[in-house]
Structure 1
Amino acid sequence: MSRELPWERLGNLATVKAGATPARKNGDRFYIGGTINWVKTGDLNNGRLYATEERVTEEAVNETSLSVHPPGTVLVAMYGGLQQIGRSALLECPATTNQAISALIPDRNKMLGEFLNYCLVSLRPNWRKVAASSRKDPNITKQDVLDFQVPVPPLHEQRRIAEILSSVDGAIAATRSVIEQTKKVKQGVLERLLTKGIGHTRFKQTEIGEIPEGWPLTSVDNVCTQVSVGIVIKPSQYYVENGVRCFRSANVREGFVEDADWVYISEEGNRANRKSVLRTGDVLVVRTGYPGTSCVVPPRYDGANCIDIIFARPKNELADPYFLSTFINSASGKTQVLKAEGGLAQKHFNVGAMKQMKLPLPPLNEQQEIVAHVQEFASTEAALQRNLEQQMGFKSALMSDLLTGRKRMPDTVPMAAE
């Protein structure tokens, strides 16, 4: 049975300090060769912070209003837009901060920094409400920080909750590490197969690098019957609660479909945009955000439509759709997606660039062999990704239960404050 937790103002639980930005014009004295961590909002990771991107010198601390905060201090972003406001971190190293961050130094007789940071992560939507409620430019003031309320269980319970959530974080970090390692191995195998093929001994140099001598270098346009883009003009005018499923960038992952956050359009809207109705085997490619991310339309989504993403329809006698998608996701494919005149990344990957993309073209049976080799790693990666999402969902539910008092830790002998 839950027992409701008491809540208190942060001003009663911690000392709140502001930061500063040493004058950039004195960079030779204040920044160059600096050894003291200096936290900016971009450093805040909602977890533990061990080091910063930028450092300042002892002169900067001595000659400005900067303070060096001890490990155990909790930092929270006060402004920088709603994407930044409320981001937090627990310091694991001595550090200073800029003026966009409040440093909360907990009274260890009342509040543990480890527990407080989990509270702030859980309550981040509340920060956004505070920031957006009364000002033209969203921000949090020092008074807002002092008045912000958090749950305050006994210290021994705070410690236990922090330990449990930290253990879950460790499992999540381990899963992420395995996913990254699997991706690296998969990319390594893929790059070897795309440059050496299977069983080849003679090779040639092309504009995309070395490939087997017997493979022609061609373009996406030459191996597809159609390369086009989904609905781009006011797609929301067609939205309905139930109707024809539509792919967006969020549904296209590297090698698989993200079956979540779908939007639907009316039958009338689908007829008006029948040129972008998808078929099984179409290759989908993201245009913005993570341009070049690609997957194939599986049979269950045959007849769906798409919004602001590229789709390519391979000629069955020339290109296996999974080979084309796999190539687009490769280092060579991504390099072409991101490369523009002058070497700058394009903000939008467009149909013209997709058509011109160069790719090697093994025989169909070899394309399918290459895909089969890579698919083993892709399947492992997808399973790990599902496991990660389950772990994150478990953590979210656990935080909700523990930080509201719906679930309480068994009574134990309270430990002395550290």
Structure 2
Amino acid sequence: MGGIPEGYKETKIGVIPEYWDVKSFKEVSKIVGGGTPDTENMDFWNGNIRWCTPTDISKNSAKFIEKTEKTISELGLKNSSATILPPNTVLMCSRATIGEKSISKYEITTNQGFKSFICNNSLNFEYLYYLIDILKKEFIKRANGTTFIEISKKDVEKIQMPLPPAKEQQKIAEILSTWDKSIEKLENLISKKIETKKGLMQNLLTGNVRFSEFESEWKEVKLGDILKERNDVGYLDLELLAITMKNGVIKRSELDLKDNSSENKSKYKRILPGDIGYNTMRMWQGVSGLSNYEGIVSPAYTIVTPKKDVSGEYIAYLFKTSNMINLFHRYSQGLVNDTLNLKYKNFKIINAIIPKSIEEQEKIASVLSTQDKEIELLKQKLELVNTQKKGLMQNLLTGKIRVKTS
């Protein structure tokens, strides 16, 4: 038990296939730093040389990076420690967001927040791109710093990696690239679905597009005429909920944040399924949602409940439109954005135009809800594919799963 499987060997970095090598970064690549020209000398900037920063990497969801937000001139290059890097260089952030990476599609330079790898003939650059994910913990472990952590070139050079034969590296990279393409397709499909929903919201919630079975004119109402405030307190046994911009009303336990709620919850407000809750100080940013739960929320939230012949689901979608968010901002009180708040007394006098019949409201809400469900299913599928790829990558890059190269 616990022995080394046939065809494998024990090494400094663990058990790997017997004909794989163990090499340091120094042995298989040239490691290059970067630099920043004087930002006050405009002759150094806006040239035709791409200049990459960690922000460019974080914004780039693709494997290869083609464009950068800023460029430098030949003069800027000569008067800084920036270096021209060839295509297929692996650019890795070496401070703060250590391990974030992209591959250069064209010649590029970077600022000093990088350790970039120009691979020699024994190391496939795409194989390295994926391997960095496996080695990320080691990079962070060796990093130092007070304001922000950073790993030095000297420490990077020492880190060792499993190195299969060239053909096996290429095959591993090809397999993982296939998964990346599937992930990219799903991400694009989700983006298109989100844009479709935005278009539907713009048309359906303004009456620009209507269902043929509804012909009556829409009506202008004050929010106080269709939504009454709920101020139920004293329900200490109910579950604590939170209201977020992205996911609306959720269980507080689902938030990956420290619980800063008060121990004394006697003034916490009850919210019921079908109610709409909003963050009194952030309603101008669109922080609201329809509740599917019974629970309690912080007094910092305002709770409203739909009156007769009003669809709460419809109103919840309406509150996410730019027109309503602008109105929420206009009616919020406070000297600066950080102190703005929209209490019910101001909320209730805001005007909105809605369908007269609850049937039309519900039909619109049903169409938008269907879009949300389709988007959520796609996101779940994307999460599953990412998890599967992560597991496969771990096994391929450590040799636990072998690939055929013939």
- Tell whether the structures are fold-level matches, with TM greater than 0.5: yes
Q: Deviations over 1:67-118 (max 9, x none)?
A: 1111111111122x3xx22211111121000111111111122x11111111
Query: Percent of counterpart pairs with the same letter?
Result: 22
1:129 is the counterpart of 2:141: yes
> 1:118 — aligned with what?
130
Task: Note if contact 1:88-1:121 (Cα within 8 Å) is conserved in structure 2.
Answer: no
Distance 1:308 1:399, change over 3 A: farther
Pairing 1:10-409 to 2, within 5 Å after superposition: 10-27=25-42, 29-32=43-46, 34-45=47-58, 47-79=63-95, 81=96, 84-109=97-122, 111-131=123-143, 135=146, 137-196=148-207, 199=210, 214-219=218-223, 222-226=225-229, 245-248=239-242, 253=246, 261=254, 272-273=265-266, 275-285=268-278, 291-292=285-286, 294-298=288-292, 301-303=293-295, 305-306=296-297, 310=301, 312-317=303-308, 319-336=310-327, 346=337, 350-352=341-343, 355=347, 359-363=352-356, 364-409=358-403
For 2:255 and 2:381, locate their aligned partners in 1 and report how far apart those are by CA, in whole Å.
Answer: 21
Task: Note if contact 1:254-1:329 (Cα within 8 Å) is conserved in structure 2.
Answer: no
Distance 1:68 1:166, change over 3 A: same
Q: Aligned-pair RMSD on alpha carbons? A: 4.0
For 1:139 and 1:269, locate their aligned partners in 2 and report how far apart those are by CA, in whole Å.
Answer: 38
Q: Secondary structure at the match of 2:141?
A: helix
Q: Secondary structure at the match of 1:272?
A: coil
Q: Secondary structure at the match of 1:314?
A: strand
For 2:160 and 2:32, locate their aligned partners in 1 and report how far apart those are by CA, in whole Å.
Answer: 17
Q: Deviations over 1:361-388 (max 9, x none)?
A: 3232221121122223222212211111
For 2:329 and 2:135, locate their aligned partners in 1 and report how far apart those are by CA, in whole Å.
Answer: 37
For 1:121 and 1:137, locate their aligned partners in 2 and report how far apart those are by CA, in whole Å.
Answer: 20
Task: Note if contact 2:268-2:297 (Cα within 8 Å) is conserved in structure 1.
Answer: no
For 1:249 and 1:127, locate their aligned partners in 2 and report how far apart those are by CA, in whole Å.
Answer: 37
Task: Note if contact 2:276-2:303 (Cα within 8 Å) is conserved in structure 1.
Answer: yes
Q: Deviations over 1:194-246 (max 9, x none)?
A: 22266599xxxxxxxxxx96421423x5533337899xxxxxxx9xxxx9754
For 1:229 and 1:37, locate their aligned partners in 2 and report how far apart those are by CA, in whole Å.
Answer: 59
Q: Secondary structure at the match of 2:30?
A: strand
For 2:370 and 2:38, locate their aligned partners in 1 and report how far apart those are by CA, in whole Å.
Answer: 54
Aligned positions, number: 376
State the shift of 1:402 in Å.
Answer: 1.6
Amino acid at match of 2:381: N
Amino acid at match of 2:318: F
Q: Secondary structure at the match of 1:196?
A: coil
Task: Note if contact 1:402-1:408 (Cα within 8 Å) is conserved in structure 2.
Answer: yes
State the shift of 1:39 in Å.
Answer: 0.4
Distance 1:323 1:308, change over 3 A: same
State the shift of 1:347 in Å.
Answer: 5.6
Task: Note if contact 1:255-1:325 (Cα within 8 Å) is conserved in structure 2.
Answer: no
For 1:90 and 1:14, locate their aligned partners in 2 and report how far apart those are by CA, in whole Å.
Answer: 14
Q: Secondary structure at the match of 2:143?
A: helix
Task: Note if contact 2:52-2:108 (Cα within 8 Å) is conserved in structure 1.
Answer: yes
For 1:53 and 1:265, locate their aligned partners in 2 and report how far apart those are by CA, in whole Å.
Answer: 35
For 1:102 and 1:229, locate their aligned partners in 2 and report how far apart those are by CA, in whole Å.
Answer: 57
Higher deviation after alignment, 253-262 or 97-106: 253-262
For 2:397 and 2:185, locate their aligned partners in 1 and report how far apart those are by CA, in whole Å.
Answer: 24
State the shift of 1:349 in Å.
Answer: 7.5
Task: Note if contact 2:93-2:100 (Cα within 8 Å) is conserved in structure 1.
Answer: yes
Task: Note if contact 1:198-1:366 (Cα within 8 Å) is conserved in structure 2.
Answer: no
Q: Deviations over 1:311-369 (max 9, x none)?
A: 5332231532211221122333444567799xx99468745399366533323222112
For 1:77 and 1:163, locate their aligned partners in 2 and report how far apart those are by CA, in whole Å.
Answer: 24
In structure 2, stretches of 5+ residues that fail to align are: 9-14
Q: Secondary structure at the match of 1:121?
A: helix
For 1:94 and 1:77, locate their aligned partners in 2 and report how far apart those are by CA, in whole Å.
Answer: 17
> What TM-score comes out, normalization by structure 1 length?
0.76
Q: Secondary structure at the match of 2:229?
A: strand
Bigger Cα Rg = 2
For 2:243 and 2:184, locate their aligned partners in 1 and report how far apart those are by CA, in whole Å.
Answer: 26
State the shift of 1:41 in Å.
Answer: 0.8
Distance 1:90 1:336, change over 3 A: farther
